[in-house]
């Protein structure tokens, strides 16, 4: 099937393509399914290469390029990067590929930064994220561009996403790990915390308990769903809100594991999952 020119009008009936390093991005897909149920979606979980948070940035960009080519080569009207690390390291790479297909990109970092800057009362914003995301300073730059003076405290949480992805049971060691990550955020007196990884909403109650009920947590799902809706409407690609769309899944790792964990993250049935191969970084 021919690729549309960059200025060509896309078909609104095409699906929204979305990808993440694993199942964490399903928390973003969940919000999109609830907010925009009339749309079709295709989601790729790169579970064979999880976690992205500690990968070499150049290798990760090559991987993201191939994933974007795979998803957009199958025709899609929008590309959503439902992964904070992929956004931080490879957003420009994804945009280059998407631009060749005439498709817009919705990342996860900027929408979260906009919300955090808008709701913080004392101007002290925390970011809890993977090492690669923190090292990229993507959130810091995004927050600095929000037009108000903000004090930003970033904390690396290298073990949190792998723990959630594994589906391991909660125990006191996990609570202590979370307390360690939250300590500098409490010391900085942040009143707003960006959950800088799409896995983190699954431990949001634990983080809220440690930080206190008055701390506002900003997850990627709500922010991205709103950005997706705005982008589709602006580009004339929104489908009529009179039907229920479909969703399907691709993964690069074990299908059974993806299904078991994915159901918990999506909070909806997954159905069939197709395994695909990505050569870059393998």
Whether the CB-CB separation of 112 and 140 falls below 8 Å is answered with: no
3-state secondary structure the chain: CCCCCCCCCCCCCCCEEEEECCCCCHHHHHHHHHHCCCCCEEEEECHHHCCHHHCCHHHHHHHHHHHHHHHHHCCCCEEEECCHHHHHHHHHHHHHHHHHCCCEEECCHHHHHHHHHHHCCCCEEEEEECHHHHHHCHHHHHHHCCCCCCEEEEEECCCHHHHHHHCCCCCHHHHHHHHHHHHHHHHCCCCEEEEECCCHHHHHHHHHHHHCCCCEEECHHHHHHHHHHHHHHHCCCCCCCCCCCCEEEEECCCHHHHHHHHHHHHCCCCCCEEECCCCCCC
Peptide bond between residue 197 and the one before it cis (omega within 30 degrees of 0)? no
Closest Cα to residue 190, out of 221, 152, 222? 152
Q: Which are the catalytic amino acids?
A: 83, 197
């Amino acid at each position: 099937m021919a690729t549309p020119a960059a200025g060509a009008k896309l078909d609104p009936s095409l699906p929204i393509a979305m990808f993440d390093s694993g199942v964490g991005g399903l928390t973003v897909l969940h919000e999109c399914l609830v907010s925009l149920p009339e749309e079709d979606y295709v989601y790729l979980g790169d579970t064979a290469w999880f976690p992205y948070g500690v990968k070499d940035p150049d290798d990760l960009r090559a991987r993201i390029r191939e994933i974007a080519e795979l998803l957009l080569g199958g025709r899609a009207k929008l590309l959503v990067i439902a992964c904070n690390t992929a956004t931080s390291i490879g957003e420009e790479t994804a945009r280059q590929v998407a631009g060749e297909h005439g498709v817009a990109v919705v990342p996860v970092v900027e929408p979260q930064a906009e919300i955090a800057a808008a709701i913080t009362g004392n101007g002290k914003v925390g970011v809890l994220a993977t090492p690669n995301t923190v090292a990229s300073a993507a959130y810091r730059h995004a927050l600095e561009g929000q037009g108000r003076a903000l004090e930003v405290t970033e904390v690396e949480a290298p073990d949190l996403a792998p723990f959630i992805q594994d589906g391991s049971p909660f125990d006191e060691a996990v609570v202590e790990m979370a307390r360690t990550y939250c300590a500098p955020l409490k010391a900085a007196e942040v009143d707003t915390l960006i959950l800088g990884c799409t896995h983190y909403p699954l431990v949001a109650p634990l983080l809220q308990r440690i930080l206190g009920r008055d701390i506002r947590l900003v997850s990627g799902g709500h922010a991205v769903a709103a950005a997706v809706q705005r982008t589709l409407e602006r580009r004339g690609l929104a489908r009529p809100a009179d039907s229920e769309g479909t969703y399907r899944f691709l993964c690069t790792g074990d299908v059974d594991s993806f299904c078991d964990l994915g159901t918990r993250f999506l909070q909806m049935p997954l159905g069939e999952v197709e395994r695909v191969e990505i050569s870059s970084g393998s």
